[in-house]
Amino acid sequence: MPEYLLHIISTLIRLTVSMVIAFAAAFPLALLFGRMRNAARLFDPLIEMLYSVPKIALFPLIVLLIGLNDRSRVITATIVVFFQVLITVRDAAAVIPEEYIISIDSLGAGRIDRIRYVYIPFLLPSVFTSLRVGTAAAFAVLFFTEASVTSGYGMGRLVIEKWSELDYKAMGLSAIITSLMGVVIFILIDRLESRLLKGVSIGTSELHSNLKV
């Protein structure tokens, strides 16, 4: 069991780091492209072209540049989540009703208030939708990249190791654990979304008392 824990922790660390980096990089860009149509028209063709490329096909190129290590696996998974967040949140930001902006501006709101009381509440559901889809895809990519090495830790590496040893019982158990990891991650994302959305509804009600003149 300690062996399994090392593999589980290694995969979870890579996945978490990938999600955090991808969200931190993609969300500001998504908001920018969604609200500034001139910038969107300039960069949309490039974004759509890169999005259509199978991300796993980039892994050999990334390995060639920085080697077969944790960084190459994390970068590949980060790219997967990055484009999911970028495109989903960009499209949501582009359809934020102008009435919301006008309403909050009439209360004397500034740019930070727009982000806090309009953009974030409106975009949170899209953020979590993109994270769910992106996490599932990143999980699959991590499994492949971990299975491509002959040493180290990770659930992909563990499954291939047990398969090469013809230990099908352990291989099946590893696959089940991997599936359960995915279920737990999705449950955590759902709970985080519920908690944040509750917080957002409270925050919007505070807007009037904070900004009303």
Q: Give the H/E segment covering residue 84.
A: helix 70-93
pLDDT of residue 199: 59
Query: Regarding predicted confidence, which is higher, 57 or 110?
Result: 57
Its pTM stands at: 0.83
Distance CA 195, CA 18 (A): 22
Within 10 Å of residue 33's Cβ, how many Cβ atoms?
24
- Dist. CA 37–CA 40, nearest whole Å: 5
Supply the pLDDT for residue 110. Answer: 78
Instruction: Kindly tell me if the per-residue pLDDT of 112 is higher than 90.
Output: no
96 CB-near residues (< 8 Å, 6+ apart): 34, 35, 118, 119, 122, 123
Measure CA 104 to chain center: 29
pLDDT digits (tens, 9 = 90+) for 13-35: 999 999 999 999 999 999 999 98
- Is residue 87 scored above 90 in pLDDT? yes
pLDDT given at position 202: 38
Q: What is the pLDDT of residues 64-79, one digit of tens each?
A: 999 888 899 999 999 9
CA torsion sign, 15 to 17 to 22 to 23?
Answer: positive
Percent of the chain with pLDDT over 70: 91
**pLDDT at res. 203:** 40
Helix axes 120-147, 2-35, angle to 10 degrees: 140
Q: Does domain 2-211 have CATH number 1.10.3720.10?
A: yes
The beta-carbon contacts of 64-73 under 8 Å, at least 24 apart in sequence, are: 68/148, 68/149, 70/14, 72/145, 73/14, 73/142, 73/145, 73/146, 73/154
- d(Cα 175, Cα 101) in Å, to the nearest integer? 48
**Could you report the per-residue pLDDT of 131-148, keeping only the tens digit for each?**
999 988 998 898 888 887
| Residue-wise pLDDT tens digits, 177-208 | 888 988 999 999 999 888 887 756 434 445 55
In the prediction, which pLDDT does 150 show? 64
Average pLDDT, the chain: 85
pLDDT of residue 166: 85
Using the structure block, give the residue that is written with the tokens 């830790």. Answer: 153
